[in-house]
Amino acid sequence: KNEVEQSPQNLTAQEGEFITINCSYSVGISALHWLQQHPGGGIVSLFMLSSGKKKHGRLIATINIQEKHSSLHITASHPRDSAVYICAVRSSSNTGKLIFGQGTTLQVKP
């Protein structure tokens, strides 16, 4: 079993829909990252969080440390949101490395 599991693996939505991507992890962590990867490979860091909730524009990320679960929400989705969304955790053993989920491929149709 992977240490970081994301669901769903693939997601197709219509423009304007509310989208939720989930991430569960099995290790102790010091931080959790949500990353966005567009075709061509470039990765953008969306959020880094260790507790609670963060919001940036139409994106919201939450984390429940006790339940070892995080969610990424996209409100009023748009075709330009189409990308791979990756959850990554940093273990609390402070090894510096990130452990990645397998990614969720999102396609938003106009």
Q: Where are the beta strands (DSSP E) in the chain?
A: 4-7, 10-14, 19-25, 29-37, 43-49, 52-56, 59-64, 69-74, 83-91, 98-100, 104-109
Part of the chain binding other proteins (CB under 8 A), chosen from 13-21, 52-60, 74-82, 94-102: 94-102
Beta bridge partners of 29: 91
- Cα–Cα distance, 40 to 108 (Å, whole number): 18
- Whole-number minimum distance, CB 45 to other proteins, in Å? 6
Part of the chain binding other proteins (CB under 8 A), chosen from 15-23, 28-36, 58-66, 72-80: 28-36
- Identify residues 35-74 at the interface with other proteins (CB under 8 A): 35, 41-45, 48
Indicate whether 95 belongs to the interface with other proteins (CB under 8 A). Answer: yes
Interface positions with other proteins (CB under 8 A) = 30-31, 33, 35, 41-45, 48, 86, 88, 90, 94-103
